[in-house]
Structure 1
């Protein structure tokens, strides 16, 4: 039987060309619609009614004309030591994130959870990186209308650590807490997905922001976080700013389980007792 190598070659070339076109189309789609990949919101009806086992106040924070961010302010039963401004992760909405409020209210701090654009009952959606920073500052400005800056702590979790770092760099809170932070968002995405860094519109360079932070910085990171690996992110940040950052690895914790750990609870209590 005679093998037609030319025919086989043409078929192979067409197959390779198809794969290349498919990859290029994927890159183009990601470049145009990457916000849909980075942000994974739970959308709530505007009439949704929040319910928690502790007192809270629902507020809306204006960040641009006709754009408001929905927020929940939880109050401690004790005499408040101040406010924790909480920048949450990339999934869900504050009807879920608010379940963590007890971690802070039990330690005599009020806590403000805010949904980003497109999350929960918040308006609009992000189209560029500058909008993230605008909103972070507007959230902090709102906090300043209700609390003295000397009594404000900024806390960020996962994607929120970049916004928290930016906020602390451009203001003067008394403490910055980062949970599962990344060195830079574009680098993190490029390392976990086959995407050229140049195609990622959002840099969110936490390592740059932290250089401008004047307050103490406490970092918590799960020792078994296989998404944002501590070796590639928190430990690099600690090495970059050894005299600024206090790093605590939560033993056995993954990316989503830090706050469930007794070690975290005890470490957090000891930290907030000092402030």
Structure 2
């Protein structure tokens, strides 16, 4: 996510002109569609001598685009997880993440965002359409997965906004925000070293400007867990702490993962043990 956006705006920073942050300038899109590749997932499962059912999934969104991804089921699952990844995080390149979450154990659905990885691409990228896709993904899990299990909506990085949007528009059992941000202006400032508003006038498109999590959490009363790495410089701990304070939930928790950077929280066994502890509270 970081390298993509820096490449788009570094020349503007150097000359000090305005940055117009449109959805297409901020939200990564692949040049061409690629089939889902689960090689890394299979390798992670085999390494642990584990077992899991892997199903390739196609879900048509409200505009007729096909969203593609995987549904993965682990033995004796305790939760259904709807996963929304970070920017520039396709399933084919990152699906070992699924195995880490699967070890909760869980059933998990991950669909590539439109224009990313295996999913169809719209002629004009719209954040509002991706928000609707998030609801479509949740509804698929609600209607297809084991209805006796709680549904946790998990957002990673940029995905933390789409997860929060689902929480605001659907009845969910719990919300997990992993490396969450609050607003796009602060996120961009953290991604670009030396960024200065005195040199550059940032103009956010309305759809990009609306990507704020705190206003949603002020009305979200369900169980909430925030997890952040103590080495995260893109979405550092104070952001998650402020989001926690803003949240209306009476069941809200935060975990800081020692030594973890922005992209590494789920690599930690400590984070997974904390995840299980959070899930155990859902039945209390």
Q: Please classify the TM superposition score into its range, dividing by the shorter chain length.
A: 0.7 to 0.9
Equivalent runs, 1:63-212 vs 2, <5 Å:
63-78=61-76, 80-125=77-122, 127-147=125-145, 148=147, 151-190=150-189, 192=192, 193-194=195-196, 196-201=201-206, 202-203=208-209, 204-212=211-219
**Deviation at residue 182 of structure 1 after TM alignment:** 0.6
**TM-score when scaled to structure 2?**
0.78
Q: Which 5+ residue runs of structure 1 have no aligned equivalent?
A: 1-18
Q: Which 5+ residue runs of structure 2 have no aligned equivalent?
A: 1-11, 43-51
Q: Which has the higher contact order (CA 8 A, sep 6+)?
A: 2
**Structure 1 CA distance for aligned equivalents of residues 53 and 32 of structure 2:** 23
**Deviation at residue 155 of structure 1 after TM alignment:** 0.2
Q: Is contact 2:135-2:166 (8 Å) kept? A: yes
Aligned to 1:241: 247
Does 1:258 pair with 2:255? no
User: Which one is further off, 181-190 or 191-200?
Assistant: 191-200
**Structure 2 CA distance for aligned equivalents of residues 199 and 172 of structure 1:** 30
**Could you say if the C-alpha distance between residues 102 and 31 of structure 1 is closer, same or farther in structure 2, counting changes exceeding 3 Å?**
closer
**Structure 2 CA distance for aligned equivalents of residues 199 and 100 of structure 1:** 31
Does 1:50 pair with 2:49? no
Query: Matched residue of 2:57: which SS?
Result: strand
**Deviation at residue 77 of structure 1 after TM alignment:** 1.8
Q: What is the number of residues matched between the two proteins?
A: 250
Cα RMSD after superposing both structures: 2.7
User: How big is each residue's C-alpha offset from its partner over 1:116-153, in whole Å with a ceiling of 9 and x where there is no partner?
Assistant: 01111101146233112111111111112113386211
**Could you say if the C-alpha distance between residues 166 and 144 of structure 1 is closer, same or farther in structure 2, counting changes exceeding 3 Å?**
same
**Could you say if the C-alpha distance between residues 50 and 208 of structure 1 is closer, same or farther in structure 2, counting changes exceeding 3 Å?**
same
